[in-house]
């Protein structure tokens, strides 16, 4: 087996991809005896790579799950291998991200920042919280990551299945904020978050995996809302503070390995009106419900009465 040494600056890039897990793998095209072929298989550009369960690192932390497969050809391979690997992240059963460090071309790949489900799919997802058994099928394209938010950096196709038992409970240091609602045949679940704060307001941007974004604006820090709960605020398209806005990504998709940047010209805003209720406040979280109408021009396209949100005081996923 050929051993490849990753340079220091390459290592920093790999560690950035999924903070919850070590993003490392091992070796080039595997040369293994038939009795050494592991039960896990990943197809990369049509080529099959086999893995043993020892090569898988996974964890459950509240509503978040992360899985990363290191490259290993034998059960006796070291626990800290070198090279490439593939990782997936989920929140409440919703796919949020897939990444890959690929040693054959020295590049890092990932799903699109704002609409990962456009070119990558997760099917047959099952997770039992009692036994912590996880299984899912995956297939799609991962795209070259860029510091400059460039597009068309090449892509790579992978597919396969994951079936794991007794995933350990561990701290993933991942953001557990989310917002969700249902409106007829349309559903939104956003958990990938950017939080922006000024002296006048705090904004929470929640991104779904199919190209939508909810923005919540609070006009004061969490503790300053006081202890008298619940608190209800009404808003419309002209409101400035304490409101909710809804957007759809319309720009050219890309995959970045820097902090996600929201470019206003890449998003279409839909006017919203409704109300939200703060039901719980602590020093580090705010939780509540919301209902609203989402319009396109003069037409209401989505109407929801069952919205929920939970925001932590600090975003750790970006």
What is the tens place of the pLDDT at every residue in 164-200? Answer: 888 888 877 777 899 999 999 999 999 889 888 887 7
Type and span of the H or E element at 179 = strand 178-183
Cis peptide before 255 (omega within 30 of 0): no
CA distance 318 to 96: 12
Lowest mean pLDDT among 94-103, 145-154, 260-269: 145-154
Categorise residue 159: left if φ over 0, alpha if ψ from -120 to 50, beta otherwise: beta
Give residue 17's pLDDT.
38
The pTM of this model reads 0.81
Give residue 278's pLDDT.
93
**% of the chain with per-residue pLDDT over 90:** 47
Give residue 77's pLDDT.
53
**% of the chain with per-residue pLDDT over 70:** 77
CA distance 55 to 71: 6
Tell me if 287 sits within 8 A of 280, measured CB to CB.
yes
Domains of the chain by residue range: 8-164, 178-312
CA distance 86 to 92: 20
């Amino acid at each position: 087996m050929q051993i490849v040494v990753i340079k220091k600056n390459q290592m920093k890039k790999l560690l950035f991809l999924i903070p919850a897990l070590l993003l490392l793998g091992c070796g080039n095209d595997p040369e293994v005896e038939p009795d050494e072929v592991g039960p896990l298989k990943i197809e990369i550009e049509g080529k099959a790579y086999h893995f043993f369960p020892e090569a898988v690192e996974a964890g459950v932390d509240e509503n978040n799950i992360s899985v990363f497969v290191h490259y290993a050809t034998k059960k006796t391979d070291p626990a800290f291998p070198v090279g490439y690997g593939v990782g997936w992240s989920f929140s409440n059963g919703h796919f949020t991200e897939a990444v890959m460090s690929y040693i054959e071309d020295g590049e890092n790949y990932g799903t699109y920042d704002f609409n990962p489900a456009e070119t990558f799919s997760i099917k047959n997802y099952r997770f039992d919280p009692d036994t912590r058994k996880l299984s899912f099928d995956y297939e799609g394209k991962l795209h070259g990551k860029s510091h400059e938010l460039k597009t068309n950096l090449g892509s790579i196709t992978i597919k396969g299945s994951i079936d794991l038992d007794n995933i350990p409970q561990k701290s993933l240091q991942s953001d557990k904020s989310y917002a969700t609602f249902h409106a007829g045949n349309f559903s939104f679940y956003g958990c990938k978050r950017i939080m922006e704060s000024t002296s006048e307001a705090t904004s929470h941007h929640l991104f779904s995996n199919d190209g939508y974004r909810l923005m919540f604006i609070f006009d004061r820090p969490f503790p300053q809302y006081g202890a008298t709960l619940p608190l209800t605020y009404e808003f419309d398209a002209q409101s400035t503070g304490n409101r909710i806005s809804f957007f759809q990504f319309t720009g050219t998709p890309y995959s970045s390995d820097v902090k996600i940047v929201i470019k206003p010209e890449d998003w279409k805003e839909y006017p919203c009106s409704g109300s939200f209720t703060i039901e719980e406040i602590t020093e580090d979280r705010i939780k509540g419900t919301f209902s609203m109408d989402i319009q396109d021009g003069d037409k209401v396209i989505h109407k929801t009465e069952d919205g929920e949100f939970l925001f932590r005081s600090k975003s750790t996923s970006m």
